[in-house]
Amino acid sequence: MNPVPLDKLVPPHVRGFEAYIPSKPDEVLKKLYGCSRLFRLNNNENALGPPPAARSVIDRFPSSRASVYPSGDAYPLRCKLADKFGLDPDQILVGNGANEVITFAIKAFCREGDNIITADKTFAVYEWVAEFSGYQARLVPLADFGFDDEGMLERIDERTKILFICNPNNPTGGFWDEKKIRGFLERIGGRQIVIIDEAYAEFMEAKDYPDGISLIGTYPNVVVFRTFSKMYGLAGLRIGYLVGDLEVVNIIRRTCVVYSVNVLAQEAARAALDDGEHVLRTREMIRQGKDFLIRELNLLGLSYIHGGGNFMMIHLPMSDSLAYRKLMTRGIMVRTMTGFRFPNYIRVTVSKMEAMEAFIEALEGILREGNT
């Protein structure tokens, strides 16, 4: 049989795109690096896990229900979210993680020759989805580790369909306050869709941090993304959602894949919404962890970047990939930042004190060793 003619079948924008390769399972990594324990400080997971109410749903889930399809459009969860935010349930779409709703939105508004605009050092999935779908991603450099509103406005042309703002930004933690985001939206004038990714909104305690969902009534071109993966500790169940004006969401709904969110994820997410104490406990853990890291990093003479969210970036006097390998041998897993266009930086998830102390001890060790 002849080989598959991939050179003819695969479009150029797919041939030129490099696949993202996830890390290996923890047990494989521990064997590979010779460590007996592994603190996962690479994915901004919540070390407290899911709220107790969500844990109860998971623990009590009957195996017999695995043979029954879930609500195809997450209707009960959408109704609960609608009650929480004072919206119509049809203003909400739920996806298999925020990554899927990003894809829904880009597919709904872009066609060949169109472009999206975002930052050059932010959550990479906006750029990836645009490029592997055949659309141009225009990347604007950050300004003081935050999104540059003027730079984004300057890149708009007649083929710009969506502008993505990660607020607070992953990985820098910078955020736009309400005055800045409203000013930006006024200048857009409803001509493009503005997506505000609020994956880390529940971590924010700054008084001037804006609630993107509250902007939708005034600015119907705004779409907001949120997730249950971060604050609510349901990353393993993969569930996120978007919120927008009813007319806009009805367009995005046409690109949705129904039945993509499993029933356990839907029910755990519903339960998680009731637990405000979980949010407060998590915020306290993050405050303590950041205070500890800032103090210790200052003693080590290392520069760092932090703001909103449950993470910090640290600049190292060595390659981030080398630091990753050295830290892994000590049971510490961090995120290398060269792929985010921050060479020699690592991003560290702020976690429980046991993990933070272990990280600092390991970091001190690799700094003593240097680049050997």
Distance CA 119, CA 108 (A): 21
Among 223, 252, 272, give the residue marking a domain's end. 272
CB atoms within 10 A of CB 302: 15
If one counts the domains in the chain, the total is 2
CB 223 within 8 A of CB 250: no
Domain match, 142 and 39 both: no
Distance CA 200, CA 311 (A): 10
Domain match, 326 and 365 both: yes
Distance CA 89, CA 220 (A): 16
What pLDDT, on the 0 to 100 scale, is given for residue 19? 82
169: CATH: 3.40.640.10
Distance CA 372, CA 360 (A): 19
Among 222, 245, 272, give the residue marking a domain's end. 272
Q: Write the DSSP symbol of residue 187.
A: H
Among 230, 254, 272, give the residue marking a domain's end. 272
Domain match, 217 and 361 both: no
Domain match, 138 and 286 both: no
Percent of the chain's residues with pLDDT above 70? 99
Domain match, 42 and 76 both: no
pLDDT at 245 > cutoff 90: yes
Domain match, 148 and 36 both: no
Domain match, 28 and 87 both: no
Per DSSP, the residues of 85-114 read HT--GGGEEEESSHHHHHHHHHHHH--TT-
pLDDT digits over 103-114, tens only? Answer: 999 999 999 999
pLDDT at 187 > cutoff 70: yes
pLDDT digits over 11-69, tens only? Answer: 888 888 888 888 899 999 999 999 999 999 999 999 999 999 999 999 999 999 999 99
Amino acid letter at 360?
A: I
pLDDT digits over 253-287, tens only? Answer: 999 999 999 999 999 999 999 998 999 999 999 99
Closest CA to 223 of 291, 165, 285: 165
What pLDDT, on the 0 to 100 scale, is given for residue 7? 86
369 pLDDT band, cuts 50/70/90, is confident
Percent of the chain's residues with pLDDT above 90? 91
Report, in this order, helix, strand and coil percent for the chain, each rounded to 5.
45, 15, 40
What pLDDT, on the 0 to 100 scale, is given for residue 38? 96
Question: What is the mean predicted confidence (pLDDT) over 64-91?
Answer: 97
What pLDDT, on the 0 to 100 scale, is given for residue 13? 86
Domain match, 61 and 163 both: yes
pLDDT at 371 > cutoff 60: no
Domain range for residue 330?
Answer: 6-49+277-369
What pLDDT, on the 0 to 100 scale, is given for residue 372? 57
Domain match, 89 and 227 both: yes
Domain match, 58 and 18 both: no
pLDDT at 213 > cutoff 80: yes
Domain match, 198 and 319 both: no
Exposure on the CB side of residue 314, measured as CA atoms within 13 A:
31
What pLDDT, on the 0 to 100 scale, is given for residue 289? 98
SS3 category, 84: helix
Task: Report if residue 1 sits inside a domain.
Answer: no
C-alpha torsion 265→268→270→271, nearest 10: 180
The pLDDT mean for the chain works out to 96
Domain match, 88 and 237 both: yes
